[in-house]
Amino acid sequence: MEVVNALGRRKAAVARIFVNEGTGNITINKRELSTYFPSSILQFVVKQPLTTLGVA
């Protein structure tokens, strides 16, 4: 699988995402998902699109 990248902008903020095939670990700003989002609700929100697509 190739690396897929996307860019989102709103006002002065810029969000970049790079998705590639891997082990299933989610890393945000070089930190694990559970460290970046300690709340299980926020982790659920991050994982929800992947679960909807069936690639979680």
User: Which pLDDT tens digit goes with each residue over 46-55?
Assistant: 889 888 888 7
State the average pLDDT over residues 18-42. 88
Structure tokens at 34: 């559970």
pTM value is 0.66
State the average pLDDT over residues 22-29. 85
State the average pLDDT over residues 17-42. 88
Instruction: Determine the Cα–Cα distance for residues 35 and 28; give it in Å rounded to an integer.
Output: 9
Secondary structure class of 13 (helix, strand, coil): strand
- Percentage of the chain with pLDDT > 90? 39
Beta strand pairing call for 13-19 and 27-28: unpaired
